Copies of this chain bind each other. A is one copy, B any other.
Amino acid sequence: MITVEAHLARVLAAVEPLTRRETLPLADAAGRTLAVDLVSHLDVPPFDNSAMDGYAVRRADLRGASPEAPVTLDVVADLPAGAAEDPAIRRGQAVRIMTGAPVPSGADAVVAVEATDGGVERVRIEVEPLAGRHIRRAGEDARRGTAVLTAGTVLAPRHLAAAAAAGHAVLDVVARPRVAVAATGSELVEPGEPLAHGSIPDSNSTLLAALVADAGAEVVAAARLHDEPDDVRAWLDRLPDCDLVICSGGVSVGDHDVVRAVLGTTGEVVFEQVAMQPGRPQAFGALADGTPVFGLPGNPVAVHVSFEMFARPAILRLLGRRAPTPVPLVVGAGWRSPAGRVQVMPVAVTTQVASLVAVPAYPGGSASHLVTGLAAADGFAVVPADVTEVAVGQTVPVLLAAR
């Protein structure tokens, strides 16, 4: 039996970040992984601009101004947002200015309209502004040439907005890893089709394909395969170019364990007992052409858990990203954990006054076949191998699942 850490280390050592890139318009880049550090093309904002609707002024004209001693200035220009002018402001003059409009170079403060009579030709001002008041300085958000986003960022709406503001219309993103998935098992039939005795709907194909897409990869092939070595060999032989292959089922030691029968003889795929519950039998290695291949166990909960612990980190590494760190959450209902194995427990996450709280997602614990119960999970608690009891009130690391 090897540890979870040792198996993961072997997986990550066999997978290299992709060098393939795509250049996408901002509108198509949401959810993709930025391939390079993104440097601002501009000062952001590009010019000093007004934070308020009001008047650009010279402070020297407003010394001592107050409600009791207002000062009246001539309004010599009117700058809406988008104005390109830089009107001169002489002694005793002001420029009417809207939020976002460029502050005239001769002004050293903006007075908000609320502190004036709002005049159009002449304006009465009742305050003496501080230097630079209501002026947003060029470059105060980001300087031209500085990095605003780092390589590896998963592009959320806010990142796309930052890229736009920094003058970028397109982004270089990492290509989606090309991943093939197969669920093996002669008992599996298309969901929704009639079931003979002994047959069950194939939920693993759906689960694997959706998890692969959720991790940011492209599903280039998906199959349901009988426990016939020739079927599995034929599928592998016909695969399009891909970066990773993930199979479920057939990795144990039974006569009909087809993935072991096909891949276990090549010497390039190692079949292990991993000290994890669920998901003990694990296969990982390479096909003849060098493509990394996972053989995950066949029970749906074990598939999901194995994906989170080993396959998702591999896909994220292909994308140049790190695997997510588990989040420490408070335990809201205790459970038992096997000695000597890392338990990966589906948990539901609820919000309480002081913290997020994790409770087992369904009765039956981490039993690996409870696929509908799995739907109630918000994440997976990763219970260390030397822990046998998880008590209410302690904290436990949780991998939050796809929302």
List chain A positions with a Cβ less than 8 A from chain B.
26-27, 30, 40-42, 44-47, 51, 53, 79-86, 98-102, 113, 136, 140-142, 148-149, 153-154, 156-170, 185-188, 190-193, 195-207, 209-211, 213-214, 226-227, 252-256, 298, 300, 304, 325-328, 351-356, 364, 369-375, 377, 395, 401-403
Contact indicator B157/A198 (Cβ below 8 Å): no
Nearest Cβ on chain B to A111's Cβ, whole angstroms: 14
11 contacts between A and B (CB under 8 A): A45-B369, A81-B187, A113-B254, A141-B370, A148-B372, A156-B214, A158-B402, A165-B203, A326-B351, A327-B356, A328-B351
Shortest Cβ distance from A207 into chain B, in angstroms?
A: 4
Task: Compute how far the CA of A82 lies from the CA of B201 in the bound complex, rounded to whole angstroms.
Answer: 11
Which of B154, B185, B356 contacts A356, CB < 8 Å?
Answer: B356
Complex-state Cα separation, A349 to B188, whole angstroms: 42
Write the nearest CB–CB distance from A280 to chain B, whole angstroms: 12
- In the complex, chain B residues whose CB is within 8 Å of the CB of A166: 201, 372
Is B162 touching A375 in the complex (CB atoms < 8 A)?
yes
CB contacts (< 8 Å) of A395 on chain B: these are: 353-355
Contact of A191 among B83, B167, B209 (CB under 8 A): B167
Q: Indicate whether A206 sits within 8 Å of B370 (C-beta atoms), given known contacts A354-B328, A355-B355, A356-B327.
A: no
Contact check, A201 vs B371: say whether CB atoms are below 8 A apart.
no
Which residue on B lies nearest to A204, using beta carbons? B161
CA distance in complex: A197, B202 (Å): 61
Please indicate which of the listed interface residues A141, A167, A226 has the most CB atoms of chain B within 10 Å of its own CB.
Answer: A141
Kindly report which residue of chain B lies nearest to residue A362, judged by CB atoms: B141
**Contacts of A369 on B, CB cut-off 8 Å?**
45, 51, 136, 141
A142 to B369, CA, bound (A): 11
Decide: A83 and B136 in contact? CB cutoff 8 A.
Answer: no
* Chain B residues closer than 8 Å to A256, beta-carbon distance: 80-81, 98
Known: A196-B84, A213-B30, A372-B165. A42 touches B201 (CB 8 A): yes
Identify A100's interface contact among B53, B80, B113, B185, CB under 8 A: B185
Copies in the complex: 2
Shortest beta-carbon distance from A107 to chain B in Å: 14
In the bound assembly, the distance between CA atoms of A156 and B377 in angstroms comes to: 10
Are B403 and A164 within 8 A (Cβ)?
Answer: no
Structural contact, A161 and B203, CB atoms closer than 8 A: yes
Are B192's CB and A168's CB within 8 A?
yes
Task: Knowing A164-B202, A169-B191, A227-B82, say if A157 contacts B356 (CB, 8 Å).
Answer: no
Q: Given A30-B210, A356-B356, does the pair A304, B161 have CB atoms closer than 8 Å? A: yes
Could you say which residues of chain B place their CB within 8 Å of the CB of A403?
154, 156, 403
Closest Cβ of chain B to A55, distance in Å, is 12
Q: How far is the CB of A147 from chain B (nearest CB, A)?
A: 10
Q: Are B53 and A198 in contact (CB under 8 A)?
A: no
Chain B contacts for A159, CB-based, 8 A: 375
Given A328-B355, A402-B157, CB of A45 within 8 Å of CB of B200: yes
